[in-house]
Each structure stands twice: as C-alpha cells, then as structure tokens.
Amino acid sequence: MIDYKDICSKIESAAREAGKFIKRESIGFDISRTENKGLHDFVSYVDKESERMLVEKLAIILPEAGFLAEEGTSSKISSEYCWVIDPLDGTTNFVHGLHPYAISVALTKDNVPVVGVVHEVEGDETFTAWKGGGAWLNESRINVSSAKKVSASLVATGFPYNDFNRLEKYMSCLSYFCRASHGIRRLGSASVDLSYVACGRFEAFYEYDLKPWDVAAGIIIVREAGGRVSDFSGKEENLTGQEIVAANRFVFPEFLEIVSKFMRD
C-alpha cells in the first residue's frame, strides 16, 4: 500500500531543491531569455530546468506513475497514478522580478489528487496535503477561514490572459465582488491563490482557462484544509482548471451562486 504521507515528504524535498535553483536564477534574470508559447504565455530555461529536476526525482519516488507536466519533459503515461507538475507557476511574475511564483506538484490516482505540494519560492512557504492527512504549511496544520459570508471575505482571482471570450462576463463578476466583499486580489499564481484559501488568507478564489497543472495540488490542499472546490456549475469531480471556484465551506455556496450567475454561459 502506498504511503501518501511519505510520498508528500519526498515531493516537498524535491520541490525545495528545485526552488533553490529558481531562486538563484531569479537574481539578475534577463527577461530577453524567455520564449512565447502563446499570447502572453511565457516560458524560460528556468521553467524547463526546474521541470527536468522534478521529473528526475519524482520518477524515483513512484516509478510506475505517469506524468502530466507543463513543459512536456516526460510523456510517460499511466492508467492509475500520474504526477501533475507546474515547475514555475507564475512565470510572468518571475520574469518581471515580481512575487509570488511557485512550484506545484500533485500526485493523482484515477485523476483524483491524493497528494499535493505547492512551494512558494521567495516566501519559502511550502503548502502540503495528502489524502486523509490534513493540510500543512511548513510543518504547521492549516485550515480555511471561518468567515461566513462573501461580505466578510477577501476574494482572489486571475485575469484572463489569452482567452477573452468571456471577458465581459468576467469583468461584471469582478465588479460585483469589488463592491460586495472586503476586496479583490490578483497574485498571478493560481497554485498560491488556492494555498492561501487553504490557510485562511483568502476566503475564496475563482478563475477560468487554467490547466490541470495550475490547480491539481491546490485542490487537495484546499479540501484537506476544510474547504470546497468545484467548477462554475458546482461539479466537484474531474476538475481540469478550465473553470474553478474554491472557498471555505461557509462561504462556498453563496460564492458559487454568484460566480455561476455571472460566468456560466
């Protein structure tokens, strides 16, 4: 039987090692050393090397697992276990010398996250969770906040950067939360947004047009911290990141209702 707690500890070690590399490279990083994968979608040698380091370590931890990695370092496929990796979540922040940016690694079983690690590099904060084991920040147990209503909530979001088909709806939703909550924050790293929901810094988070590697680790961290995660229709399984809503368990029903009202087609 696989020991998820032990695997989580080993992922954390691998993520911290890759994080040290990213932090070294952040000093004097030259933005001209980036490539464009698409509109406003950047990648650098730092993303690629971080992913290579992670894939190498993770392949040893659980050799039978496949990989779903943002930069495509490994294409190994497995029907049961899969590593879902974002080697540098917040690349745009990184290349501009702005924080936060993070490493996000999840282990999924049958497409369900069972272990998650998000290492925020500059803050040296590592958020971890494993199935049934709760959520943690640097060895301390964390929980979602106890706020009861959206009106008492700080809300996080991410602006669309290449899919603008729903921009008008998104801006209407954003406008509503500007008026109806404690405020809106946009950090530029979805894995960090989710981790901050888990530890109570944010009450809620929503975004669209993300990818599995942006959210897989954060999903289990939020859930193990006592929160809820779904798409805009309220479906809580098989989440790909295309739509995501996360909040503490008290705020979640009201928050989902509002986001759904504005964002669903």
Examine the fold and report which residue of 142, 163, 190 is the final residue of a domain before the chain moves on. Answer: 142
Examine the fold and report which residue of 87, 112, 142 is the final residue of a domain before the chain moves on. Answer: 142
Residue-range definition of the domain harbouring residue 197: 150-263
| 132 & 184 share domain | no
| 203 & 231 share domain | yes
> What percent of the chain has pLDDT above 90?
84
pLDDT tens digit sequence for 71-120:
777 777 777 999 999 999 999 999 999 999 999 999 999 999 999 999 99
| 80 & 197 share domain | no
| 113 & 164 share domain | no
| 161 & 244 share domain | yes
| 162 & 96 share domain | no
| 113 & 214 share domain | no
pLDDT tens digit sequence for 211-240:
999 999 999 999 999 999 999 999 999 999
Examine the fold and report which residue of 85, 116, 142 is the final residue of a domain before the chain moves on. Answer: 142
Model confidence at 265, pLDDT cuts 50, 70, 90, reads: low
| 64 & 191 share domain | no
| 227 & 247 share domain | yes
The CATH number assigned to the domain holding 180 equals: 3.40.190.80
How many domains are there within the chain? Answer: 2
pLDDT tens digit sequence for 32-76:
777 765 444 567 889 999 999 999 999 999 999 999 998 777 777
Q: What is the pTM of this model?
A: 0.94
| 138 & 250 share domain | no
| 122 & 161 share domain | no
| 138 & 16 share domain | yes
The CATH number assigned to the domain holding 16 equals: 3.30.540.10
SS3 assignment for the chain: CCCHHHHHHHHHHHHHHHHHHHHHHHCCCCHHHEEEEECCEEEEHHHHHHHHHHHHHHHHHCCCCEEEECCCCCCCCCCCEEEEEEEEECHHHHHCCCCCCEEEEEEEECCEEEEEEEEECCCCEEEEEECCCCEEECCEEECCCCCCCHHHCEEEECCCCCCCCCHHHHHHHHHHHHHHCCEEECCCCHHHHHHHHHCCCCCEEEEECCCHHHHHHHHHHHHHCCEEEECCCCCCCCCCCCEEEEEECCCHHHHHHHHHHHHCC
Average of pLDDT values for 248-260? 98
